[in-house]
Chains A and B, each alone.
Chain A
Amino acid sequence: MTDSVKLKIDGKEITAKAGQTILQAAAMAGIYIPHLCAHRELEPWGSCRVCTVKVNGRPQAACTQPVAEGAVVESETPELVNVRRALVEMLFVEGNHVCPSCEKSGNCELQATAYRLGIAAPRFPYTFPKREIDASHPDIILERNRCILCARCVRASTEVDGKHAFDFVGRGVHKRIAVNAEAGLAGTSAAATDKALSVCPVGCLMKKRVGFAVPVGQRQFDEKQIGSEI
Chain B
Amino acid sequence: MTTQIGTQRIVIEPVTRVEGHGKVTIHLDEQGKVTQARMHIVEFRGFERFVQGRPYWEVPVLVQRLCGICPVSHHLCAAKAMDVIVGADRLTPTAEKMRRLMHYGQTYQSHALHFFHLASPDLLFGFGADVGKRHVIAVAAAFPELAVQGVMMRKYGQEIIKATAGKKIHGTGAIPGGINKNLSVAERDGFLKDLDQQLAWARGALKIAKDYTVENLAKIKDFGSFDSNHAGLVTADGTMDLYDGNLRAIDANGGRIFDMPPAKYIDHIAEEVRPWSYMKFPFIRSLGPERGWYRVGPLARINVAERIDTPEAERARQEFMSVTNGKPNNITMAYHWARMIELLHAAEKFQELLNDRDLQGTDLVVQGERREEGIAIIEAPRGSLFHHYRVNDRDEVVMANLIVSTTSNNEPMNRAVQKVAEQHLQGVAEITDGLLNHVEVAIRAYDPCLSCATHAMGQMPLVVELLDHEGKRVGRRCKGVAESVAG
A211 near B176 with CB under 8 A, answer yes
When chains A and B are docked, how far (Å) is the Cα of A164 from the Cα of B175? Answer: 33
When chains A and B are docked, how far (Å) is the Cα of A224 from the Cα of B170? Answer: 21
Q: Which residues of B contact A (CB under 8 A)?
A: 53-55, 57-58, 60-62, 65, 165-167, 170-173, 175-176, 180-181, 365, 394-396
When chains A and B are docked, how far (Å) is the Cα of A210 from the Cα of B351? Answer: 33
Which residues from A are CB-within-8-Å of B176? 209, 211
A215 near B57 with CB under 8 A, answer no
Chain A: which residue is nearest B173 at the CB level? Answer: A215
When chains A and B are docked, how far (Å) is the Cα of A136 from the Cα of B392? Answer: 11
Say yes or no: A212-B396 contact (C-beta < 8 A), given A101-B61, A141-B55, A217-B166. no
Which residues from A are CB-within-8-Å of B60? 212
A-side interface residues, number (CB < 8 Å):
19
Residue among B61, B170, B180 making CB contact with A214, cutoff 8 Å: B180
Chain B: which residue is nearest A209 at the CB level? Answer: B57
A216 near B395 with CB under 8 A, answer no
A212 near B167 with CB under 8 A, answer no
**A and B contact pairs by CB, cutoff 8 A, 6 listed:** A141-B395, A211-B175, A211-B176, A212-B57, A212-B60, A215-B173
CB distance from B279 to the nearest CB of A (A): 24
A135 near B61 with CB under 8 A, answer no
Is there a chain B Cβ closer than 8 Å to A103's Cβ?
yes
B172 near A212 with CB under 8 A, answer yes
A64-104 CB contact bits vs B (8 Å, 1 = yes)? 00000000000000000000000000000000000011110
When chains A and B are docked, how far (Å) is the Cα of A191 from the Cα of B171? Answer: 30
Chain B: which residue is nearest A217 at the CB level? Answer: B166
Interface residues of A in 92-138 (CB under 8 A from B): 100-103, 133, 135-136
A138-167 CB contact bits vs B (8 Å, 1 = yes)? 000100000000000000000000000000
> Which 8 A-B residue pairs are closest in the complex by CB-CB distance?
A216-B166, A211-B57, A101-B62, A212-B172, A135-B394, A215-B181, A215-B180, A215-B166
B181 near A103 with CB under 8 A, answer no
Which residues from A are CB-within-8-Å of B175? 211-213
Chain A: which residue is nearest B365 at the CB level? Answer: A213
A193-230 CB contact bits vs B (8 Å, 1 = yes)? 00000000000000011111111111000000000000
Which residues from A are CB-within-8-Å of B61? 100-101, 103, 212
Say yes or no: A209-B62 contact (C-beta < 8 A), given A215-B166, A215-B172, A216-B166. no
B395 near A209 with CB under 8 A, answer yes
Chain B: which residue is nearest A136 at the CB level? Answer: B394
Chain A: which residue is nearest B62 at the CB level? Answer: A101
When chains A and B are docked, how far (Å) is the Cα of A102 from the Cα of B58? Answer: 7
CB distance from A95 to the nearest CB of B (A): 16
Which residues from A are CB-within-8-Å of B65? 100-101
When chains A and B are docked, how far (Å) is the Cα of A133 from the Cα of B53? Answer: 8
Which residues from A are CB-within-8-Å of B181? 215, 218
Chain B: which residue is nearest A206 at the CB level? Answer: B55
CB distance from B161 to the nearest CB of A (A): 11
When chains A and B are docked, how far (Å) is the Cα of A102 from the Cα of B365? Answer: 20
When chains A and B are docked, how far (Å) is the Cα of A209 from the Cα of B62? Answer: 15
Q: Which residues of A contact B (CB under 8 A)?
A: 100-103, 133, 135-136, 141, 208-218
A103 near B57 with CB under 8 A, answer yes
When chains A and B are docked, how far (Å) is the Cα of A105 from the Cα of B54? Answer: 16
CB distance from A164 to the nearest CB of B (A): 24
When chains A and B are docked, how far (Å) is the Cα of A103 from the Cα of B166? Answer: 14
Residue among B55, B58, B172, B394 making CB contact with A216, cutoff 8 Å: B172
CB distance from B362 to the nearest CB of A (A): 13
CB distance from B119 to the nearest CB of A (A): 30
Chain A: which residue is nearest B396 at the CB level? Answer: A135
CB distance from A104 to the nearest CB of B (A): 11
CB distance from B49 to the nearest CB of A (A): 15
Which residues from B are CB-within-8-Å of A217? 166
Residue among A100, A133, A218 making CB contact with B396, cutoff 8 Å: A133
When chains A and B are docked, how far (Å) is the Cα of A48 from the Cα of B175? Answer: 34
When chains A and B are docked, how far (Å) is the Cα of A136 from the Cα of B55? Answer: 12
CB distance from B405 to the nearest CB of A (A): 22
Which residues from B are CB-within-8-Å of A136? 394
Chain A: which residue is nearest B392 at the CB level? Answer: A135
When chains A and B are docked, how far (Å) is the Cα of A211 from the Cα of B172? Answer: 10
CB distance from B163 to the nearest CB of A (A): 10
When chains A and B are docked, how far (Å) is the Cα of A214 from the Cα of B365? Answer: 12
When chains A and B are docked, how far (Å) is the Cα of A27 from the Cα of B136? Answer: 54
Which residues from B are CB-within-8-Å of A212? 57, 60-61, 172, 175, 180
CB distance from A101 to the nearest CB of B (A): 4
CB distance from A187 to the nearest CB of B (A): 14
What would 4 more interface pairs be, CB under 8 Å, given A135-B396, A215-B173? A101-B65, A208-B395, A211-B57, A217-B166
CB distance from B262 to the nearest CB of A (A): 23
Chain A: which residue is nearest B162 at the CB level? Answer: A216
CB distance from B448 to the nearest CB of A (A): 24
Which residues from B are CB-within-8-Å of A208? 55, 57, 395
Chain B: which residue is nearest A139 at the CB level? Answer: B395
Interface hub of A101, A102, A133, A213 (most chain B Cβ within 10 A):
A101
When chains A and B are docked, how far (Å) is the Cα of A101 from the Cα of B74? Answer: 13
CB distance from A13 to the nearest CB of B (A): 44
Chain B: which residue is nearest A143 at the CB level? Answer: B55
Interface hub of A208, A212, A213 (most chain B Cβ within 10 A):
A212
B395 near A213 with CB under 8 A, answer no
Chain A: which residue is nearest B63 at the CB level? Answer: A101
When chains A and B are docked, how far (Å) is the Cα of A119 from the Cα of B166? Answer: 24
B62 near A213 with CB under 8 A, answer no
Which residues from B are CB-within-8-Å of A103? 57-58, 61
Which residues from B are CB-within-8-Å of A211? 55, 57-58, 175-176
